[in-house]
Amino acid sequence: MRSSYLSIVVMLLVLPAVSGAAESNPKQAVAAKAAGQFGQELRKKLIESLQENGPAAAIDVCAKDAPAISARIENQLGVTIKRTSLKYRNPLNAPDAAEKQVLEVLAAAHSAGEKLPQAVSAFPNDRNRFYKPITMEQTCLKCHGDSTTISEAVRKELAVTYPEDKAVGYKEGDFRGIISVTVK
């Protein structure tokens, strides 16, 4: 019963998978483009940094490069972009009330074994929000995995860069958080 309730709640929020859905709402299309572009660019930069410099150096990508990537896309598309989670790394990325609600619904759905939607849209009633779920990949675990298996170098860098870090203890496939896009 709880599982079907979560499915209904998530489905009410889900951005339809039909390609025409975004076309019918230009703001939704812009938000989807921003979230996708940000996610792709950040992922590419993280993988390059991991391969060239190792996991400890990849922390700088999230701390320094991610804000620059989001600022560029924000200026290009007229949006604001934020990565947030219930277990955030940077207190500046703590979820607002609307983001927290979406995060809690998605986390509960994931915990119940539900397949997460590719995106969640909140565009009715002049709400201009788009949320893209983030799930953990194997590569992510080098910085977000079990704190006992994260390398000493990464633990030290995390302690310096993110002293209030909550974003560890994940496993591959876990729901990590969302890319939240607000259309201005």
Query: Per-residue pLDDT tens for 51-97?
Result: 999 999 999 999 999 999 999 999 999 999 999 999 999 999 999 99
By residue range, what is the domain housing residue 139? 2-183
pTM: 0.86
Task: Give the number of domains in the chain.
Answer: 1
> Shortest CA distance to 32 belongs to which of 175, 178, 131?
131
Per-residue pLDDT of 136-171, as tens digits, reads 999 999 999 999 999 999 999 999 999 999 999 999
**How much is the pLDDT for 17?**
36
Lowest mean pLDDT among 5-9, 38-42, 84-88, 124-128: 5-9
Tokens 């996991």 belong to 55
* N-term to C-term CA, the chain: 38
Q: Residue 7 and residue 3: Cα distance in Å, rounded?
A: 6
Q: How far is CA 149 from CA 97, 157, 166, in A?
A: 33, 15, 16
Q: Residue 56 and residue 59: Cα distance in Å, rounded?
A: 6
Q: How far is CA 183 from CA 5, 98, 115, 122, 127, in A?
A: 29, 14, 26, 11, 9
* Mean pLDDT confidence for 7-34: 60
